[in-house]
Structure 1
Amino acid sequence: MEGQIKKMQDELAEIRRKYEDAIKGREQDRARIDSLLVQLSNIEAEINLLKRRIGQLEDEVKRIKQENQRMLSELQRARTDLDQETLNRIDYQNQVQTLLEEIDFLRRVHDNEIKELQTLASRDTTPENREFFKNELSSAIRDIREEYDQVNNVHRNDMESWYRLKVQEIQTQSARQSMEQGYAKEEVKRLRTQLADLRGKLADLESRNSLLEKQIQELNYQLEDDQRSYEAALNDRDSQIRKMREECQALMVELQMLLDTKQTLDAEIAIYRKMLEGEENRAGLKQLVEQVVKTHAISQETDTETMRVVKGETASRQSFQRSAKGNVSIHEASPDGKYIVLQNTHRAKDEAIGEWKLKRRIDGKREIVYTVPRDFVLRAGKTLKIFARNQGVASPPDQLVYDAEDSFGSGNNVQTILFNKEGEERATHIQRQSTA
């Protein structure tokens, strides 16, 4: 038995080493995931920066387009003003031409009048009359000519001054519009060059952004694959750890049984030694027998604050073992899967078991999960009986019904495990049916 115990201790040390290796591998995977998350966050930050820069460039392009549109509208307005001034110039030229024609017409009228007066003067044959009319006619012609010259000079000066003023205004406006058009052309050319540069930069940024998005997508796929592989590895390690724990618990149970058997055998050997030494006092022999009986009848349940292991055997060739960490334990699990009983073994402390999960595995294939209602409290020293559907009546806080399943399941190897909200294993109940 000591050799078996040493062998079991070596196996337990090997299992602990494997468990520590699994924990180290898990920490390494977590560190790698953290580094990948940091890299992903850096890439996302760079993408956000590029998007912000692209937005600023788009705003700049929009502003340049608005400025270009404003310049085009001003150019169109200048063209409209130039056309209007051209029309005004043509109108004024027409007015000048009309006035010149009117002056020509007045000149012809005056010439006709002079000819008529000369004709009238030629009819008078008297030298005195002829001289008189000639002098009068000359003075009248001179007055008319002076008046005509004066009016003509006034009109001519007015028309020349008005024409020079208008020509100067048109030339000034034309020069100003030409300068504005030159400035507008230079500005449009500069804006077009800047717009072409911005478009080139935008195309480069878009290509870089698409490349970064592809890299991010590839990193996401890689991260998903790593997470899936990591989760699969974690599940495998959890299953291995759970299996190791079950094996450790089985070994602890077997070790406890061996220790109990060893203690019983030691007590029997001591009795036999006393009997062989010639103990004849019946009272002393009776006391030794009672001591052996008490030693053999020691409770097979060992309670501590952190771990309790209980083992037993039913009359129908079904063995079970249960363990608990803390005050809440799986007191009973029906072999036919009708109900499961939880118990709070503490005499004064209530236990909040809301959202705790009760998992039941049947022959390592099927798994049934029941979640305790939220904010449920298991009173001190009380039990909670959870029925399958149609197997009992709900009567909180002592009885609940699991409506999702007609049975918690039955089989040759049934494991019932209680987990808290953090996923920590708090109690187990293992049922095995012998094949004999």
Structure 2
Amino acid sequence: MATATASVNNTTGTFMFHPRPTVFEHPITYDLPSLNNSTSIINNKSDINDFSQYYITLESRTTIHKSAKGPISIAECDVQGKYIIIENTSRSKSMVLTGWIIRQESDNGDILTFTLPDNYLLRPNHSLKILTKPNESERKNHDLIASSLSSWHTGLNFVTTLINAEGKDRASLTKKTIFS
């Protein structure tokens, strides 16, 4: 661990630097308090005593947890919010998904929903992509369009749940990102 000391207007601050692998860098501004309540202006950014702006390194770890009660599961939630893919993992049984709901909740409580159309049949070993309206041009074969949605959630944390016509949770995908 390296330590550096800076002095501005007779005020000293100590900074601790922890070398870590870079994942995200975010500028952090640190204003040293002035003893005479005046604002100091440093014109030479290469001055070795200028610690008014430095970068702090953050490491992150993202986990995706999937679960399913039966052959229908959530295979993927696009990181850019373009689509969600559900799949039928059964080798022999088609599933009628009439009235099933995809519900996605962000960590701030924002909820998005999409109800599958009547008489929708998902064949064995097949998947279904549900695109948002702005991505309709990427539609292929039997993909569905969530015309009321401009995007699925793209944040650091969200839970996507697949609910059957009886209101029971049948599958979920949870994305969590932790910074350290």
Q: How many Å apart are 1:387 and its aligned residue?
A: 0.8
Q: 1:63-119 CA distances to partner (integer Å, 9 max, x unpaired)?
A: xxxxxxxxxxxxxxxxxxxxxxxxxxxxxxxxxxxxxxxxxxxxxxxxxxxxxxxxx
1:26-175 alignment, distance < 5 Å: none
Cα distance, 1:328 vs structure 2: 0.2
User: Taking structure 1 as reference, are residues 421 and 396 closer, same or farther at Cα in structure 2, changes over 3 Å only?
Assistant: farther
1:326 matched residue in structure 2: 70
1:412 equivalenced with 2:161 (yes/no):
no
Question: In the alignment, what sits opposite 2:120?
Answer: 376
Shift of 1:364: 4.0
What is the CA distance between 1:335 and its match in structure 2? Answer: 2.2
Query: Does structure 1 residue 346 correspond to structure 2 residue 62?
Result: no
Percent identity of paired positions between Structure 1 and Structure 2: 31
Give the Å deviation of 1:346.
0.5
Considering Cα pairs closer than 8 Å and 6+ residues apart, tell me whether 1 or 2 has the greater RCO: 2
Are positions 1:422 and 2:166 aligned together? yes
Correspondence for 1:366 among 70, 95, 110 = 110
- Aligned CA distance change for structure 1 residues 364 and 422 (closer, same or farther; 3 Å): farther
1:401 Cα deviation after fit: 1.1
Which TM-score applies when normalising by structure 1? 0.27
Q: What per-residue deviation string (whole Å, max 9, x for no partner) do you get for residues 191-236 of structure 1? A: xxxxxxxxxxxxxxxxxxxxxxxxxxxxxxxxxxxxxxxxxxxxxx
Q: Which residue of 2 aligns with 1:101?
A: none
CA distance in 2, matches of 1:384, 1:317: 28
TM-superposed CA distance for 1:431, in Å, is 0.3
Equivalent of residue 433 in structure 1, options 159, 162, 177: 177
> How many positions carry a matched residue from both structures?
120
Residue-by-residue CA offset, 1:233-278 (whole Å, 9 max, x unaligned): xxxxxxxxxxxxxxxxxxxxxxxxxxxxxxxxxxxxxxxxxxxxxx
1:386 and 2:130 aligned? yes
- The whole-number CA distance in structure 1 between the counterparts of 2:99 and 2:164 is 7
How far 1:330 moved relative to its partner? 0.2
TM-score, L = length of structure 2: 0.63
Q: Which residue does the alignment assign to 2:37?
A: none
Q: CA deviation at 1:336?
A: 2.4
Equivalent residue runs for 1:232-311 within 5 Å: none
* Displacement of 1:426: 0.3
Deviations, residues 307-341 of structure 1 (Å, cap 9, x unaligned): xxxxxxxxx73211010001000011112211100
How many Å separate the matches in 1 of 2:172 and 2:112?
14
**Superposition map of 1:217-236 within 5 A:** none
Q: Deviation above 4 Å: which 4+ runs of structure 1?
A: none
Q: Which amino acid aligns with 1:377?
A: L
CA distance in 2, matches of 1:420, 1:396: 24
Shift of 1:396: 4.6
Q: State how far apart, in whole Å, the 1-side matches of 2:114 and 2:173 are.
A: 15
Unaligned runs of at least 5 residues, structure 2: 1-59
Q: 1:364 to 1:426 in 2, by over 3 A?
A: farther
SS of the equivalent of 2:85 reads strand
Higher-Rg member (1/2): 1
Q: CA deviation at 1:381?
A: 0.1
- The aligned residue for residue 80 of structure 2 is 336
> Which runs of no fewer than 5 residues in structure 1 stay unpaired?
1-315
**2:135, 2:154 → 1: CA distance?**
15
Between the aligned partners of 2:97 and 2:81, the Cα distance in structure 1 is 22
